[in-house]
Chain A
Amino acid sequence: DVKVTQSSRYLVKRTGEKVFLECVQDMDHENMFWYRQDPGLGLRLIYFSYDVKMKEKGDIPEGYSVSREKKERFSLILESASTNQTSMYLCATTQTGNTIYFGEGSWLTVV
């Protein structure tokens, strides 16, 4: 069965902390994405990656970075968390032309 696993479902972090959100897929997909979802704003693309070590900025990359050292893992990094980064974060993966698969989401609260 297809799987996209986000390592943490619920996190609470302090302002200024470094935060890592991990996403792992078992489908050998080239493309991986990180979105954040906020009430009234829908899903907004933060970063995506189309191959190992390759990345491209999405619509709202400020305050975030990403890492893709292995094909199956795509990490989202908040270098210094701020309260306006409190949100639900969604990872997605796809192979070109095929179905998109989503993780279950990570709820991050920054206090």
Chain B
Amino acid sequence: DAKTTQPTSMDCAEGRAANLPCNHSTISGNEYVYWYRQIHSQGPQYIIHGLKNNETNEMASLIITEDRKSSTLILPHATLRDTAVYYCIVRVRGLQGAQKLVFGQGTRLTINP
């Protein structure tokens, strides 16, 4: 079954770029990669998603490798409020063709002053 793999934790200095990697080696051609983050006791917050091309929005950039087996979320200028658990998610086909969401374990990102 498809899965995603992320480092358990990372640290980054405030103001620097935070680069969070995710491996999704079994992803298939039409499956999207999504990134969410979760601050304690709240529901996950959408950050960005992509299929093949690199994507950028007001929150972050997403770099997907050409073979699509891994991606990197980039927070260009990390702030203390970016401290959270970051999840990489792929959408995979379930048994009856329906799409289900597969979460990695998440990366606990700590931004240090």
B99 touches A100 (CB 8 A): no
B106 touches A33 (CB 8 A): no
Is A92's CB within 8 Å of the partner chain B? yes
Number of contacting residues on B, CB 8 A? 23
B105 touches A42 (CB 8 A): yes
Q: Which residue of B lies closest to A47 (CB)?
A: B100
CB within 8 Å for A100 and B94 given contacts A43-B103, A105-B42: no
CB within 8 Å for A42 and B43 given contacts A48-B98, A100-B36: no
- Residues of B bordering A, CB below 8 Å: 32, 34, 36, 41-44, 46, 49, 87, 89, 94-96, 98-106
Task: Tell me the bound Cα distance from A44 to B96 in angstroms.
Answer: 19
B44 touches A102 (CB 8 A): yes
CB distance from B2 to the nearest CB of A (A): 12
A residues in contact with B103, CB < 8 Å:
35, 42-45
B34 touches A103 (CB 8 A): no
Task: Tell me the bound Cα distance from A76 to B95 in angstroms.
Answer: 20
Contact of A99 among B46, B87, B104, B106 (CB under 8 A): B46
Q: Which residue of A lies closest to B98 (CB)?
A: A50
